[in-house]
Chain A
């Protein structure tokens, strides 16, 4: 077996990459967002994305989710604008800080 696979020309290997499906690709898209992929996987991913518009949409969706999450994490995110400490809790914290002093 090792002899056979060694005999595969690089053309044959590239042809194999043609066979990479959407199902194989989606986890790689997510994985590449978290860490670098080995060259082989990265090339297969690029290759598939080059021909598959649907997976490109999926990739963009994940990028949008990442952008939304970063925005949500900012100091004054446009969410929970009304959320705040109740007067009761504020008083409790002030007391705790006062005891500390």
Chain B
């Protein structure tokens, strides 16, 4: 009975937190809900292994991270990570003059990485732009830049060639650049 109460508390205390964390990585709300549920079920089963070495919160987030990776592994079974037309063209395709110099020079965003990260409007703009990527690009970018997996690990898990991974990341970054430039920097004065 005490255990039941405890797991009910998890839902109240950590449910939204876990859900938001998942939603950044997994775009689909239904998938995200499912992952939170699977996480809490796994936590309940592994309850005895929790020995208070970490806080309950970080223990749950640790399990959640594994379940999110499992989700990406499952997705891989249904789709290929080869480049396809649905992924859109490389935004840099026509960005250069014939002599290889920039035709449309990137704009100075007038900030630096540290300052930018403190700007919640900008972080939100990135979140919005991320949702505009194709599912494949989004997943790979998330694994690399948000989950922080090593390139080798992503290639192994997603069964893609290193050159393919690199092309996807390069194009994803360029699409994000373009999106941020139009959605954020263009609207200011």
Give the Cβ gap from B119 to chain A, nearest Cβ, in Å. Answer: 9
The size bracket of the interface on A is 35 or more
Residues of B29-44 at the interface with A, using a CB-CB cut-off of 8 Å, are: 33, 36-37, 40-41, 44
B20 at the interface (CB under 8 A from A): yes
Taking a contact as CB atoms under 8 Å apart, the answer to whether B41 and A64 are in contact is no
Taking a contact as CB atoms under 8 Å apart, the answer to whether A30 and B170 are in contact is yes
- Chain B 34-68 against A: per-residue CB contact (8 Å), 1 yes, 0 no? 00110011001100000000000000010000000
B85 at the interface (CB under 8 A from A): no
Q: In the complex, what residues of A have CB within 8 A of residue B126's CB?
A: 65, 68-69, 72
Q: In the complex, what residues of A have CB within 8 A of residue B114's CB?
A: 67
A9 at the interface (CB under 8 A from B): no
Residue ranges of A at the interface with B (Cβ–Cβ < 8 Å): 21-24, 26-27, 30-31, 33-35, 54-55, 57-58, 60-73, 75-81, 83-85, 89-90, 92-94, 96-98, 100-101
Taking a contact as CB atoms under 8 Å apart, the answer to whether A78 and B120 are in contact is yes
Which chain B residue lies CB-closest to A84?
B16
Taking a contact as CB atoms under 8 Å apart, the answer to whether B106 and A57 are in contact is yes
Taking a contact as CB atoms under 8 Å apart, the answer to whether A22 and B100 are in contact is yes
